[in-house]
Amino acid sequence: MQVRDVMTRAVEAIGPDTSLVEAARFMRDESIGFLPVLEEGRLVGVITDRDITVRATADALDAQSTRVGSVMTKPVVTISESESIYEADALMERHTIRRLVVLDGRGALCGVLSLDDLAVLPDREKDSMVEP
């Protein structure tokens, strides 16, 4: 089973110049907590609700004037959509992260794979993940 079979497609993204207030509203309205950051179509980072809390709110940064680009996480851990879900699981474990940005054959953003996507697989698919 490949990453493309279980990933979330049609991913929302955000620009690095967006304010944290706008980013927070976007996360609320779209019910998401993870956004790839794109600059002129190029993946430059990712930002999560947690990044905002621990890097901005905790330091009392002003959410109106602080931009996504200054608190985002980079570099981004990515995986190809044709990789196996076993490889995806190993990659998440190695980096102790729970989401991967998925790239297509040309290296363009095409989805996000979360640990939850892997956890809700049917049992017979998960069986294949525990075999090295």
Partner 1 sequence: MRPAERMTVGDLCTREVVVTDGDLPIQDAARLMRDRHVGNVVLVERRPDGSAVPKGVITDRDLVVGVLALDLEHIAGLKVRDMVTAPVVTSKADVSLAEAIATMTANGVRRLPVVDSSGALVGILTADDVYEALAEQLSLVASVATYQQRRERRSRK
**Only segment of 2-10, 45-53, 77-85, 103-111 that touches partner 1 (CB under 8 A):** 45-53
Q: Cα(92)–Cα(69) distance, rounded to whole angstroms?
A: 23
Q: Does 24 bind partner 1 (CB under 8 A)?
A: yes
Minimum Å gap between C-beta 27 and partner 1 is 6
Q: Cα(50)–Cα(104) distance, rounded to whole angstroms?
A: 27
Q: Does 1 bind partner 1 (CB under 8 A)?
A: no
Q: Does 123 bind partner 1 (CB under 8 A)?
A: yes
Minimum Å gap between C-beta 68 and partner 1 is 12
Q: Does 50 bind partner 1 (CB under 8 A)?
A: yes
For the chain, the 3-state helix, strand and coil shares in percent, each to the nearest 5, are 35, 25, 35
Q: Cα(69)–Cα(107) distance, rounded to whole angstroms?
A: 21
How many CA atoms lie within 13 Å of 69's alpha carbon, on the beta-carbon side? 9
Q: Does 93 bind partner 1 (CB under 8 A)?
A: no
Q: Does 69 bind partner 1 (CB under 8 A)?
A: no
